[in-house]
Amino acid sequence: MGIVVQKYGGSSVADAAGVKRVAQRIIATKKAGHDVVVVVSAMGDTTDELIDLANEVTPLPPARELDMLLTAGERISMAVLAMAIQSLGFDARSFTGSQAGVITDAEHGRAKIIDVTPGRIQAAIGEGAIAIVAGFQGVSQTTKDITTLGRGGSDTTAVALAVALQADVCEIYSDVDGIFTADPRIEPRARKVPRISYEETLEMAAQGAKILHLRCVEYARRYDMPIHVRSSFSDKEGTWVVKAEDVNKDGNMEAAIITGVAHDRSQAKITVVGVPDKVGEAAAIFRAVAEAQTNIDMIVQNVSAAATGRTDISFTLPRAEGQAAMAALSKLQGEVGYERLQYDDSVGKVSVVGAGMSTAPGITATFFAALADAGVNIEMISTSEIRVSVVVAESQVEAAVNAAHAAYNLGSDEIEAVVYGGTGR
C-alpha cells in the first residue's frame, strides 16, 4: 500500500478531545497498511489569538515577525497530535515546515512553495513512524527566514507534500462531509457530489463555495494529485477531486451536466454613471481601481445612449475593498468627466458550474428561466466555459440558489443533515 497524506483543519483539532479523535483516525489509516503523513493546522482559534496578541503590541506587525509568531500555532498542534498518537502505542514524529523541506520564496504572509525536499519525512515513514507536519509554513530559500503561505496554506502544504512524496491521495479533513451541489444551509436538498473535476472545483471555489482553496486545487491539478475531501467527524466517503476524465470512470452513471450551484455574498457593485463614450475612458477607470489594490470580478458596460454619448460601467469587487476603490474613482472625476458613482453592497452572486455545460445547449436559458419564474431580477451576467454567474439583489440569493438547484434536478430525495463551513486555513 502506498502513502496517504491527510490534512486536518483547526476545527478538527480544536481541543484535546478533538486531537485524540484525530489520532484514532490516523492510526486506523496506519493499521490499514498505509504510510501516513499528516498535515495539521493550528488548534481552533489559536491563530486569531496570536494575531490579537500582536495587535496589542503594534497595529502593523512586521511581516517577518508575524510569520514567526503565527507558526507557533502549528508547532503546538503538531506536537500535541504526535503525543496523542504515541500515547496510543504508535510511533509519531512532528516536523516544522522547514524540517519537512517546504522551501518557499521570501514573501512573508503569502509565500509560494518553490520546492519540497521531504528527506526527513521519508526517513521517518521508512522507519514505520507517522509523520506530523506543520501546515501553512515553510522556510525561505534566500533568507532562511520562516514564512507562512497565507490563506489556504495548510491545504496547499498537504497537496505539495503528497506530490513530493508521490502519495496515492491527499485527504483533506474538515467538519464538512464533502463538496455539495449547493450550500446545505440555504438549500436543504443539497447532495454530496461523489466526484468532481479540478476545473469544476476551481470554478465553485472562485464563485464563493467555501470548499477548498484555489491554490491547493491548482497545485493538485498541475501534478494530477487526487484530493479526497471528507469529514473528520464521520467515516463516510467524501468527495473525490480528480482530473476530468476520471470523474465518470465508474461508467455506471450519466455525466451530470451541472455539478453544483455556488453563491457568494461577499461582493459589492460599483457603477460609474455617465461615462463619456470615448477611447481610453474605461482604461483610465480600471487603472485607478487597480492602483487601489482591488480585485475586480465581473464588468458590464452598457451600450452608449446615442442621445447623450455617455454610458454606464458597472463592476463587482470584494466588499472589503469597496471604500478604497470608491476613493480612487472619486479623485478621477475631473479627468474622466463621469456624472456620478453608485455603490451597492446589497448584492450577491449565484453561479451554476458544470463540465458538461460546454457541450450541452440551453443551460443558460434554463438558468435564466428558473430565475425569472422565481421572481429574481438579474443585474449582471458573466460566463466561462463551465460556468454561468449572475449578480442579483442579496435578498434574492437564496431564492436564486433554490431555483437553479431545482431546475437542474441537483437535489437528493432525502435531506442530508450537514453543516456547511470553511476548511480553515
Task: Catalog residues that contact its own copies under the rule CB under 8 A.
Answer: 16, 19-20, 50, 53-54, 56-62, 64-66, 68-69, 71-73, 75-76, 78-80, 82-84, 86-87, 92-94, 99, 120, 144
Q: How far apart are CA 121 and CA 330, in angstroms?
A: 54
Q: How far apart are CA 160 and CA 135, in angstroms?
A: 11
**Angstrom distances, CA of residue 10 to CA of 39, 124, 240, 351, 389:** 11, 24, 21, 29, 31
**Angstrom distances, CA of residue 411 to CA of 97, 107, 192, 222, 336:** 41, 43, 9, 31, 49
Instruction: Supply angle C-alpha 150, 46, 215, rounded to 5.
Output: 20
We find the least distance from the C-beta atom of residue 63 to its own copies, in angstroms, to be 10
We find the least distance from the C-beta atom of residue 92 to its own copies, in angstroms, to be 8
Nearer to its own copies by Cβ, of 95 and 408: the residue is 95
* Cell 465508474 -> residue: 250
We find the least distance from the C-beta atom of residue 82 to its own copies, in angstroms, to be 5
Nearer to its own copies by Cβ, of 13 and 347: the residue is 13
Instruction: Supply angle C-alpha 266, 302, 209, rounded to 5.
Output: 20
Query: Under a CB-based contact definition with an 8 Å cutoff, are residues 258 and 354 in contact?
Result: yes
Query: Under a CB-based contact definition with an 8 Å cutoff, are residues 406 and 181 in contact?
Result: no
Nearer to its own copies by Cβ, of 17 and 417: the residue is 17
Q: How far apart are CA 64 and CA 44, in angstroms?
A: 23
We find the least distance from the C-beta atom of residue 158 to its own copies, in angstroms, to be 20
We find the least distance from the C-beta atom of residue 53 to its own copies, in angstroms, to be 6
Nearer to its own copies by Cβ, of 72 and 419: the residue is 72
Nearer to its own copies by Cβ, of 82 and 162: the residue is 82
Query: Under a CB-based contact definition with an 8 Å cutoff, are residues 230 and 175 in contact?
Result: no
We find the least distance from the C-beta atom of residue 84 to its own copies, in angstroms, to be 5
Q: How many CB atoms lie within 10 A of CB 5?
A: 30
We find the least distance from the C-beta atom of residue 81 to its own copies, in angstroms, to be 8
Nearer to its own copies by Cβ, of 144 and 340: the residue is 144
Nearer to its own copies by Cβ, of 37 and 163: the residue is 37
Strands (E), 1-108: 3-8, 35-40, 92-95, 102-104
Residues 392, 396, 401, 407, CA torsion sign: negative
Nearer to its own copies by Cβ, of 72 and 255: the residue is 72
We find the least distance from the C-beta atom of residue 146 to its own copies, in angstroms, to be 8
